[in-house]
Structure 1
Amino acid sequence: MAYITPIHRPSGIRLALKLNLIDPDSESLVVAKFNRIETYQIGGSGAILNLVGSHLVYGRIVVLNKFRPADSLVDHIFVGTDTGHFFTASWNSNTQQLDTVFKLQDLADRTAREVQSGERSLVDPLNEFMLLEIYEGILTTIPLVQWGLKGVEKGIQTKRSVLDEVAWSRIPEFNVKSAAFSQRPRGRGAKPEVALLWEDYEGNARMRFREIHYQSRAKDTDVAVEYRDSENQRDTADLDVGASHLIPVPNRPYGIIVLAETKVSWFDDGPTAKDHIEALPHATIWTSWARIDNLRYVLADEFGKLYSLNLHLDREGLVDEMEVEELGTTSQAACLVYLSDDLLFVGSHHGDSQVVRITDGTIEIIQTIASLSPILDFTVMDMGNRSGDGPANEFSTGQARIVTGSGAWQDGSIRSVRSGVGVKELGLLPDLENTTAIFSLRLDPSQPKVNAILLSFTDESRLLQFDSSGAVEELDAGMALDSQTLLARNIHQSSQLQLLQVTQKSVIIRSLVSNSNPVVWNADNGVDIIAATANDERLVICLGGNVLQVFNFQDGIKPQRHLAPPNYQISCIALSSIPSLSEMLFVGFWNSGVEEESEIGVIRLSTGEWKPIRSTESGEERALPRSILISTVSKVNDSPILFAALADGHVATYEIGENGNLKLAMKTVLGTRQAELTELTYPDGQLKSIFVASEHSSLIYEEQGRLTFSAVDTEQVNCVCPFDSEAFPNSVIFATSDDIKIAQIDYERTTHVQPLQIGETARRLVYSRALKVFGIGTIARSIQDGAEISRSSFKVVEEVMFKEVASYELKNDELIESVLRTELDDGYGSMEERFIVGTSFVEDDTVDEFRGRIIIFELTADQTLRPILQHSIKGACRCLGMVDGKIVAAMNKTVAIFSYDFSSGRTPGLTKLATYRTSTMPISMCITGDTIAVADLMKSVSILQYKSQDKSTVGKHSLTEIARHYQTLWGTAVCQVGPHSWLESDAEGNLLVLSRNLEGATADDLRRLQVDSEFCIGELVNRMQSIDVETSADSPVVPKALLATREGSLYLFGLIADNKRDLLMNLQDILAESVKSLGDIDFKGYRAFRNDVRMEEEPRRFVDGELIERFLDSPPEVQQQCVDALNRGGQSVTVTDVRDIVDHLRRLH
């Protein structure tokens, strides 16, 4: 049973439009990111574009348009998906969300051929008709009903507009490149005209004008539409071969502009039949355009350049000159939208989307919307443990640092992606090692903010003061600095600001107003203070592990002694600042007399009553509490929560009831050792969070009524404290093993992307932990003498700042196909890090039609790339891998095993040991042990086994097919997810889990891979990578692989535990019915397997994590309904049980 959930959602933008969606007086930008619609408010405070809504659509969005219904004061959007579902949506001002208004009938036609140049929709100037082109030679016409216009103008509630009946019409024009409605005002009774730019069978560009004749349904007639030749038809034989776009001119001079590769043309669509043609300075390929006003346009080409197109008119109001000027370079535009005030939105699928300002013939980038699309390759740098050497914890997949090769051509980049709580470093205090605790202090009573920190070490303390500019001065007086500090804070006594300091031997209270001597209490000789806690009223210290001393500040230092019961040893203590709990002391301890039980207890300070709280989980091994803290962590629910950091790396949360009763709510593993807990309060004074300092630092905060644990995007933290100073407002200070850092921490988890623009396509990517570098195979594109030239190179960049270390350029017309990092013999008996590169030649003048090379590189001590072996092969080297110390190369139709040896002295060479011939062409390869899984271009997956009887003899090696998936499937990637199971993706966006039936009765059963699970992800998966993560025994899902797609998505794939399969499958079915997406499209049909051969009705043994996680976002009544339905189906769970399981799943990513 399989499980998949997104780590990073699609980010490439192909469609965008500007409209009055939210308010008649304000404009919005709506963009389509594969299967999501995002709404941005234009202008306002902060950035130019501010995200106000994101909505999931069950389908790839291929059509996005706007129209204004007659009874509406705002625009509606029209959305179409690749599966033939079309609907309209409008903004709901009450819920601040998009609502589905009208759902069109399913327009899918499996017998028709999809358009080759992309689906499109047009709305005529009078808002009467919408035109759809989704199949070749067929135009779909949708009338826009115009009811109730006068009523809206008078403020009268009228009948809501809908789309009228759909009509289809066949046209002889195939391969339509572009279409546009004529904007010229038409007389009474005249029909709307549409211009079609198409390519005939000889490759010539043609343009034809057609009139729409629509007949609505009547008593005796059906709805029908016909596209007739316009009376203004004209000859367009002189159109350029590369004509690609039509631009309608909405006002005088009207007409149609045609964009082509070498010229720009204007054609009058009126009776004059005049035209004007302007040659371009150089040839280019257009991708998009936007209108500034009637005579000014912005054009974008495939090379990321923006141009201005200005129309100049003669005395008759007709075009007599068209001026095209280059403005500058942006990301390659998939769509352009002119916002206002010279601001232009550039939506890109090959790079970051941008908002640019056009001024004086140049452009300035104002805002950037990051994008990972397309992800061509990726590597996992670490699984949340930074060094990559330590054990991966249960939720390490949600903290993994993934480095992707993203973008294309001039927008190519490598990007470090980590999901977590962001940290913005503001300052660094170096050479302060082994800090055990940090305390922020206010030394100036006249200032409202803190201005100093006290650093505690094992045998001393250091006091640092900050001025308003951030300058640091170390003070050598004013506090006890010759010993370790356990606690330091400001207190108020007798209306005076004072300093409280607790060391291992004494308690010191010092006034900051008067020069009076400090008040000091010293512990008895031979007894150390091991823990201390304080609130605004009192201080409690622990002496020797079993004696508690309580100091009330209003009484001065007059301790009250409280003895712990026999055999109880105290490990940590905590007071609360919450008024209802201020009389209670919470204690972590272990009982050395009863099998060394670890517990948490409560002492009521007014009476001395001791109340140990026993764990209700019998038989569970309980770790010692090392740090406890009480907080509300909510601005909605004031119920206090006790957090306990245990010695084994778990953090336990307890609900605190009346009289201090504790109820265990949950236990979460956040590391392998004890953590330190610190409460952080944000500027509003209400929102709080808990910082967990450990080797996997985390932030605990409230999200939608529940506690959320998120990784903090920083290295190992020993301790932390809030530091809201004048120089560094709303900041924190945390200590690592080497230094002290000042930083600001985000309120919640987000995905953090660190880019390195390389200006080339990063096609292949590997990471070397030993060398601390990345190896990148790139492809650069340039124009020389009007011809497009591609060059490949292999680069090495360092792991922190992605700075280029070395580069090696390949031959002309040679492209990088694959890159591998491995260890090989250096000829002296040692294993050294090497990079292996597989290539192909695009053009070849030799007899062989295909050629390639295998090149092995060494990164030398002087940081240069030295090729130590170059081996020519017949065919492109598509994939590389290692098996039993041998190199595996997947070529055009062959998988071959090569040995790397020094048979001829000190010169290394490759010797072919065994081969296997694939069905068509290997696309992807996964190797585990001696098993090789090969994804074929057309024939799915084959499983090969490598056997070697003699490591040095050529004839003793074999590569044998042991299993195969016999269906026709256009594979794109494969990886192993179990001992005998593999995950495969195909070009249609499907995922399949294939497994061997080792208990088959016949040899054919053993050779046949069976389908365990199948699911339509909808996106083309470019790369997969297996991961190995140890999880707890009760984990509902075991992460197995990471996936990267063409749309910029990253997915986590896992296998569901046996005892959770029925629960999650049933929950998915229930949520599919109760939780709807925009457009009310059926979930099961959307996620069902489909290709040209077969189409299923629902996914098979596959759970969509994105849908499951929507349970947490549902209202309480919906959650209860889902749980009731589960229990009626045979489960026995509560809402809390399901929420805990789903919250566990969410924290996996």
Structure 2
Amino acid sequence: MDDRKSYVVTAHKPTSVSHSVVGRFTGASDVNLVLAKTTRVEIHLLTPEGLTPVHDVAIYGRITMLEVFRPPSSPVDLLFVCTQRHQFCVLAYDPATKSIVTRAQGNIRDPIGRMSDVVTSGNIDPEGRLIGMNLYEGYFKVIPMDASGKLSDAFNIRMDELRVIDVKFLFGCAKPTIAVLYEDQKGRHVKTYVVLAKERELAEGPWSQSHVESSANLLIPVPAPAGGVLIVSQQMIVYHNGSTCHAISMQSTIIQVYGQVDRDGSRFLLADQFGLLQVVALQRNKDVVTGIALEVLGETSIASTLSYLDNGVVFVGSATGDSQLVKLLPARDTTTGSYLEVLDAYVNIGPIVDFVVMDLDRQGQGQVVTCSGAYKDGSLRIIRNGIGINEQAATELPGIKGMWALRMSFAADQDAYLVQSFVSETRVLGFSTDGDDGDVELAEHEIQGLNPSKTLLCRNVLGDAWLQVTEFDVRLIACATSAVLATWKAPGRITVAAANPSQAVVAIAGGVLIYFEIDGAQLHLVAETRMAHEIACLDISPPTSDTKSVDGRHWETRLPKASRVVVGLWSELSVSLLSLPSLALETKQLLGGDVLPRSLLTIAFESVAHLLVGMGDGTLLVFTLAHDGSLAPLKRISLGTQPILLSAFRSKDVLHVFAASDRPTVIYSSNGKLHFSNVNAKEVSVMCAFDSPALPDCLALASPDELTLGTIDDIQKLHVQSVPLHEWPRRLAHDPVSHTLGVTTIKYTLDETHMEEVEVGYVRLLDDQSFDTLHAYKLDPFEIGCAIVSASFDDASRYYCVGTAYVHEEELEPHQGRILVFQVVASKLVLVAEKEVKGAVYCLNAFQNKLLAGINSKTQVYKWSDTDDLEKELVAECGHHGHTLVLFLESRGDFIAVGDLMKSVSLLNYKALDGSVEEVAKDLNSNWMTAIDMLDDDHVLGAEADLNLFCVQRQSGATTDEERARLECVGEFHLGDFVNRFRHGSLVMQPPGATSSLFGTVSGMLGVVLPLDAAQYTFLSRLTSAINKVGKGVGGLLHKDWRMYESKRHVSEAKNFIDGDLVESFLDLPKARMAQVVELLNGDGAMDGSPPVTIDDVMATVEDLAQRH
């Protein structure tokens, strides 16, 4: 049996913010916000309009420290990044190349030493003399730094304190000085030490304070001249500088993060676990602190980081809710009672605790619904691939062959008429006002000068005229009077036409091409030529990225004119570029194959001219177009199976292309790369932009049977919709029959009698289209929902089965739980049965018209049986013991995969005839499981707590019982993120027979796992090796080290997994780098006899993979 090989790739980047800093990184006058999102660094620029993204780079490591600092000799700030594996780098911005460069890098990992129990804490001496970190118990890691920012070798300094809570450098000290908050058997204390770098030791500092508050958890250094430190605990804030001490009490809470407001440290923002934002102000007499004031400002998302930007604007980074840009108000808002105004919000779908894949249209393309966030920031997030059309109006109107919008003048801002062409006629829709109630409606109109026969083209042109091309003539019609200004009678049947505001071309049967220029009310025939074959399609669009030129809306009189016309030919299956006005041949491009070109469009994306060719079989060809008219093939991509009709349109002043077909697609460019996003609409045969007063910014979409007017979503690959719950969603399931979602949640309320937070569990029923809450079922006190599944038994009904646990503080593990069986009746949850069990029901699985449950250490099978009084109940049929805690269950046929708390994965077999469950095989390694997925009868994919993925395989063909009883590990890979759930499904349409799995993580990442065959794996392994040889990662970190499987039990190189993020980075490389990669790839391939490949070959392979997620 061949080992399973997989392709792991990111479908949605991490969104939870763990760190943020403010500095002048990209320029001396720039204000930058730098964010860490697990394994990525984002750099934003503060502008009058808000935050503008500048860079988004992947880091080959999990970021645990992010700081900015400025060496005395530098006009800009540098960025210090440290990872969980204790690799660090210093990054700078190169304005010449507009890229991030590495100034220094290193590894400060020690071969021995116990890791600190608290999260890695570290910071930089305010004078820029050294960097200090608390990584290991009893040691303080120091990296000396000179005035230029150059780092020296790191070393450890011994500390007496073992359990360190926090370490901060103090301001205004002649030598680097740290304050240490630590805990011993007598309580918590604060000590200061002078760091003697040359002697590599700590000397006693200027002051210490024994027995601070037992809940003290945070030190905030105060800048000079006041100096000192704020010691923050749950009920008190204390200022201490060795000679002065002031304190202020506050309502009990846990302050998680702080942010400095003023440069002199007069004010600090504090954010607690409930999302409450407070400001602490130091009252001063000259340079001496005389008191502390504290005020509540308002509520935000629960913050993981705070960064004060400028002019009262604060960035609130969150790991459990949306991050926010908040304005501090000078006075309390009388409506909200808050000093805060939310200026903007940034989507965060982390942590993804659970999710389901819903294929509502049953087309193989799902949308993901996640349990996201935590506590009050909990929500459901609906994530779908492609671009949605928000329907404004629709009518049954079959047979539309062409569609164009007309304005009442060339300079008019909005459209007045929608012209539709049918097989033998033309109709016009326009707006009219209902005389009774004044409503505006779209109704059929008549334009006197318009030829009522089939229209091939209609549009606004210069001179406030409409141009109409039919099979028999070309005419100009006055916009104001509808009078015909000029007519040209065709000598034969016109088959196809194209135009821009001042030029037009028509093709006449027999391959005749005629070129017109439009001047005022005149139609001038300029040139004529005969092509070698019949003309299939035409385009005369000037390749401009000026969006107001797309459909003629331009307020300047000098519009760009096309310098060439593009002609697609029958028989020869070619595209020719003819220069204007002579119609002389510039370039001919044979398309190959046996499929006709059906649509052409010349367009510039980000100032790069492209020629798009839509083929009759749903294939799109993309060429780059040089100034001399030469074409360079860029890519060939299959968008659908029906002919493609290309149309340019604008959305939010950015140019895009709509490819109408059986799988409509929007084509757009970002960072120099073309992107293709599916439109979430059924077959579209014709599209045109239709921006009218009654229906602004709409698109008109014609399908074979219907006309739809609607607005389009933001142009991006994935769209996220939020359904706020203000509770913590824990588990969810989807029932396609009742069109509902079942969600278990935890609501946190305050018991005002005991001033304690109380958890209340609910099972909620939501509509799977509107996501409105239909019903809520309240669980017992101390009971929380741990699992939910939509299931059917051996009757005709559908049920939601919910597994619960009664959680008491005095119990290490719950000893009591229930399985509740609900039926959806009239949009309500009706409890039809319940089963008390001895333990927590951690997982449930619908299994052969039975119910599979993981209850503490046991796997149990329940059947649905009749009671004596003709009711239904769950009856235990059989089970299997021998686990620590059964956290995850997946089934396939008679096989059951079990994910254990610490005993990795085991495979069970259910024997229906015997009514028993037996263990078939198990992984002998000790893995602390976080999620599992049963890929097939022989392979189980697992995620474990050290942030690795692995795949185990059943040895069904082994010759000994011992080998058959062991699950062999055949794949290992370090993901660097905590996976909470795998689900089968896809966000995009998959090829027939293709399978894929999705996974969701704590950071808000959505990932995809795709199977690879042996040939694909070999090629992609060589490709990743070549890419790694051409360039290192940001900060000089090595990809090979990053993806190395590392757990507490062993370390090994990744095997049988391909990093799709690295593979697809090939598409973003400059051409010179691509050539280097391909040269190395061919060099490696020659060794094993593989045929050589080109850049286009590699791009096509990688793009095919990218399209699958």
Does TM, scored on the shorter chain, surpass 0.5? yes
Counterpart of 2:678 (choices 701, 711, 723) is 711
Alignment of 1:369-388 (within 5 A): 369-382=346-359, 387-388=360-361
Residue 449 of structure 2 contacts residue 477 of structure 2 at CA under 8 Å; is this kept in 1? Answer: no
Alignment of 1:329-728 (within 5 A): 329-359=299-329, 360-361=331-332, 362-382=339-359, 387-390=360-363, 392=364, 396=365, 400-421=366-387, 428-431=392-395, 433-434=397-398, 436=400, 437-444=402-409, 447=412, 450-456=415-421, 461-465=427-431, 474=443, 476-478=445-447, 485-490=454-459, 497-500=465-468, 502=470, 510-512=477-479, 516=483, 540=506, 573-577=537-541, 585-587=567-569, 616=592, 627-634=598-605, 636-638=607-609, 640-646=611-617, 649-652=618-621, 667-680=636-649, 689-702=656-669, 707-712=674-679, 717-723=684-690
Q: Which amino acid letter does the alignment assign opposite residue 52 of structure 1?
A: V
Q: Judging changes above 3 Å, is the alpha-carbon distance between structure 1 residues 312 and 227 closer, same or farther for their aligned structure 2 residues?
A: same
Q: Judging changes above 3 Å, is the alpha-carbon distance between structure 1 residues 506 and 558 closer, same or farther for their aligned structure 2 residues?
A: same
Q: Which amino acid letter does the alignment assign opposite residue 44 of structure 2?
A: Y
Q: How far did 1:465 drift?
A: 5.0
Residue 913 of structure 1 contacts residue 957 of structure 1 at CA under 8 Å; is this kept in 2? Answer: yes
Match of 1:150 in 2: none
Count of aligned pairs between the two proteins: 1056
> Residue 795 of structure 1 aligns to a residue in which SS?
strand
Q: Distance in 2 between matches of 1:411 and 1:658?
A: 53
Deviations 1:117-159 (A, max 9, x none): 211112333332322111122101222213xxxxxxxxxxxxx
Match of 2:906 in 1: 942
Counterpart of 2:880 (choices 916, 928, 932) is 916
Q: Judging changes above 3 Å, is the alpha-carbon distance between structure 1 residues 22 and 523 closer, same or farther for their aligned structure 2 residues?
A: closer
Residue 486 of structure 1 contacts residue 532 of structure 1 at CA under 8 Å; is this kept in 2? Answer: no
Q: How far did 1:295 drift?
A: 2.9
Percent same amino acid among aligned pairs? 24
> Residue 294 of structure 2 aligns to a residue in which SS?
strand
Alignment partner of 1:821 is 2:823: no
Residue 374 of structure 1 contacts residue 408 of structure 1 at CA under 8 Å; is this kept in 2? Answer: yes
Match of 2:1037 in 1: 1081
Alignment of 1:1015-1034 (within 5 A): 1015-1027=973-985
Q: How far did 1:848 drift?
A: 10
Deviations 1:156-181 (A, max 9, x none): xxxx4412332311212122112223
Q: Judging changes above 3 Å, is the alpha-carbon distance between structure 1 residues 521 and 834 closer, same or farther for their aligned structure 2 residues?
A: farther
Q: Distance in 1 between matches of 2:183 and 2:439?
A: 67
Q: Judging changes above 3 Å, is the alpha-carbon distance between structure 1 residues 602 and 1118 closer, same or farther for their aligned structure 2 residues?
A: closer
Alignment partner of 1:246 is 2:219: yes
Q: Which amino acid letter does the alignment assign opposite residue 1144 of structure 1?
A: D
Deviations 1:763-811 (A, max 9, x none): 1122233333322111112231321211111112223442211111111
> Residue 1144 of structure 1 aligns to a residue in which SS?
helix
Q: Distance in 1 between matches of 2:956 and 2:214?
A: 59
Structure 1 length as normaliser, TM-score?
0.84
Q: How far did 1:1101 drift?
A: 2.2
Q: How far did 1:428 drift?
A: 2.1
Q: Which amino acid letter does the alignment assign opposite residue 170 of structure 1?
A: R
Alignment partner of 1:1047 is 2:1003: yes
Residue 282 of structure 2 contacts residue 289 of structure 2 at CA under 8 Å; is this kept in 1? Answer: no
Q: Which amino acid letter does the alignment assign opposite residue 305 of structure 1?
A: L
> Residue 418 of structure 1 aligns to a residue in which SS?
strand
Match of 2:57 in 1: 55
**Structure 1 regions of 5+ residues with no counterpart?**
147-159, 216-223, 590-597, 950-955
Residue 1078 of structure 2 contacts residue 1094 of structure 2 at CA under 8 Å; is this kept in 1? Answer: yes
Residue 1039 of structure 1 contacts residue 1053 of structure 1 at CA under 8 Å; is this kept in 2? Answer: no
Counterpart of 1:1121 (choices 1076, 1084, 1097) is 1076
Q: Which amino acid letter does the alignment assign opposite residue 408 of structure 1?
A: A
Match of 2:758 in 1: 789
Alignment partner of 1:855 is 2:820: yes
Alignment of 1:179-198 (within 5 A): 179-183=167-171, 185-186=172-173, 191-198=175-182
Residue 450 of structure 2 contacts residue 468 of structure 2 at CA under 8 Å; is this kept in 1? Answer: no
Match of 1:1140 in 2: 1100
Deviations 1:501-549 (A, max 9, x none): 537x98765444666568889999xx99986656665564788xx9989
Q: How far did 1:823 drift?
A: 3.0
CA RMSD of aligned residues (A): 3.9
Q: Which amino acid letter does the alignment assign opposite residue 698 of structure 1?
A: T
Deviations 1:374-416 (A, max 9, x none): 110111123xxxx4313x3xxx5xxx42221111001111111
Q: Which amino acid letter does the alignment assign opposite residue 1106 of structure 2?
A: R
Residue 918 of structure 1 contacts residue 936 of structure 1 at CA under 8 Å; is this kept in 2? Answer: no
Counterpart of 1:775 (choices 736, 739, 742) is 742
Match of 2:49 in 1: 46
Q: Distance in 1 between matches of 2:377 and 2:681?
A: 28
Match of 2:547 in 1: none
Q: Distance in 1 between matches of 2:286 and 2:411?
A: 75
Structure 2 length as normaliser, TM-score?
0.87
Counterpart of 1:932 (choices 891, 896, 914) is 896
Deviations 1:1051-1106 (A, max 9, x none): 1111223322221101111212222222111211110101111112x311221111
Q: Distance in 2 between matches of 1:55 and 1:1137?
A: 26
Match of 1:200 in 2: 184
Residue 576 of structure 1 contacts residue 584 of structure 1 at CA under 8 Å; is this kept in 2? Answer: yes
Q: Judging changes above 3 Å, is the alpha-carbon distance between structure 1 residues 516 and 1122 closer, same or farther for their aligned structure 2 residues?
A: closer
Q: Which amino acid letter does the alignment assign opposite residue 664 of structure 2?
A: S
Q: Which amino acid letter does the alignment assign opposite residue 1108 of structure 1?
A: V
Deviations 1:826-885 (A, max 9, x none): xxx5x2332111111102999995111111112212x22111111111111111112211
Q: Distance in 2 between matches of 1:637 and 1:191?
A: 56
Deviations 1:336-355 (A, max 9, x none): 12222222221111111112
Q: Distance in 2 between matches of 1:195 and 1:848?
A: 39
Match of 2:861 in 1: 897
Residue 16 of structure 2 contacts residue 318 of structure 2 at CA under 8 Å; is this kept in 1? Answer: yes
Q: Distance in 1 between matches of 2:512 and 2:93?
A: 61
Q: Judging changes above 3 Å, is the alpha-carbon distance between structure 1 residues 108 and 463 closer, same or farther for their aligned structure 2 residues?
A: same
Counterpart of 1:5 (choices 3, 9, 22) is 9
Q: How far did 1:613 drift?
A: 9.4
Counterpart of 1:258 (choices 231, 234, 247) is 231
Match of 2:711 in 1: 743
Q: Distance in 2 between matches of 1:1057 and 1:205?
A: 58
Q: Which amino acid letter does the alignment assign opposite residue 212 of structure 1?
A: V
Q: Judging changes above 3 Å, is the alpha-carbon distance between structure 1 residues 935 and 542 closer, same or farther for their aligned structure 2 residues?
A: farther
> Residue 1119 of structure 1 aligns to a residue in which SS?
helix
Q: How far did 1:915 drift?
A: 0.5
Counterpart of 2:205 (choices 230, 235, 253) is 230
**Structure 2 regions of 5+ residues with no counterpart?**
333-338, 543-560
Q: Which amino acid letter does the alignment assign opposite residue 1105 of structure 2?
A: L
Alignment of 1:26-425 (within 5 A): 26-42=30-46, 44-47=47-50, 49-104=51-106, 106-146=107-147, 160-183=148-171, 185-186=172-173, 191-201=175-185, 204-215=187-198, 224-234=199-209, 236-237=210-211, 239-251=212-224, 253-270=226-243, 274-280=244-250, 282-293=251-262, 294-313=265-284, 317-319=288-290, 321-359=291-329, 360-361=331-332, 362-382=339-359, 387-390=360-363, 392=364, 396=365, 400-421=366-387
Deviations 1:160-203 (A, max 9, x none): 441233231121212211222333x44xxx6443221111135x
Q: Distance in 1 between matches of 2:892 and 2:1041?
A: 35
Residue 65 of structure 2 contacts residue 81 of structure 2 at CA under 8 Å; is this kept in 1? Answer: yes
Counterpart of 1:871 (choices 829, 835, 843) is 835
